[in-house]
Amino acid sequence: MGKGEEEEEHQDIEDEDDTDDDDGDDEEEEEEKWRKHYSSRHRILLVGEGDFSFSLSLARRFGSARNMVATSLDTQEDIATKYSNGIKNVRELELRGCIVLFGVDAKQMSQHYFLSTQRFQRIVYNFPHVGFRYREGSYCQIQSNKRLVKSFLKNAKVLLRKEGGEIHISHKEGDPYNKWDLVKKAEKIGLVLHETVPFRMDDYPGYRNKRAQGSLSDAPFHLGVCSTYKFKLS
């Protein structure tokens, strides 16, 4: 599959009635399906999920999610407590064949007992954030977030397929987010920016971005202008 085909050509085929109940027809099952940058033929690792609604948006489009591993730092109990739809989303993912893993730390995931045996074509972390330890624009908060992103990229690089692999980070634009130096961090560890494209929620029906922390865990955060940064091995 040629790169660059992803964004434009497959956008129009989105059908909001996308539960894709194509059961019983093997040929239909094997047909390649796209959700924005992601294909049913990619082996996809999702990292730092909130209520797993982003993973589920892909899974519903693909029909089968046997090509996906969806992970969260939270335990299953945390997911039940923090998100009104978390467990429901996890169960549907599992029914669709997705492997769902809890307690996966993006900073150490290359040593995870199962993930360390796998290689992925797409590794996706939407809106990485350590949680509010300090004020968002403060030096300490920015440093913590930078450390998270750097460790994630290092670990993702190990788990990435050499041929055609991409690591995607969706991230807010503007101050203080541009102080995280995503691209510089990536370059320092042997990755190169392939492209940056606008991130739009509408591209992922059903996706609900989550604060993921405190009493407002289940609430969305303001997205504003944001982008998906795509990195490749240099």
Q: Which residues are near ligand SAM by CB under 6 A?
A: 47-50, 54, 73-74, 105-107, 126-130, 148, 209-210, 212
> For residues 22 and 87, which CB has a smaller minimum distance to ligand SAM in the complex?
87
> For residues 47 and 65, which CB has a smaller minimum distance to ligand SAM in the complex?
47
Q: What's the angle, vertex CA 208, arms to CA 66 and CA 94, rounded to 5?
A: 25
Q: CB of 103: closest distance to ligand SAM in angstroms? A: 9
Q: CB of 112: closest distance to ligand SAM in angstroms? A: 11
* CA nearest to 154, candidates 186, 197, 115: 186
CB-side exposure of 138: number of CA atoms within 13 Å? Answer: 8
Q: CB of 124: closest distance to ligand SAM in angstroms? A: 9
> For residues 60 and 210, which CB has a smaller minimum distance to ligand SAM in the complex?
210
Q: CB of 116: closest distance to ligand SAM in angstroms? A: 16
Q: CB of 39: closest distance to ligand SAM in angstroms? A: 20
User: What would the 3-class secondary structure string for 120-187 be?
Assistant: ECEEEEECCCCCCCCCCCCHHHHHHHHHHHHHHHHHHHHHECCCCCEEEEEEECCCCHHHHCHHHHHH
> For residues 106 and 115, which CB has a smaller minimum distance to ligand SAM in the complex?
106
CA distance 205 to 14: 9
> For residues 100 and 148, which CB has a smaller minimum distance to ligand SAM in the complex?
148
Q: CB of 21: closest distance to ligand SAM in angstroms? A: 26
Amino acid at residue number 189: I
> For residues 78 and 187, which CB has a smaller minimum distance to ligand SAM in the complex?
78
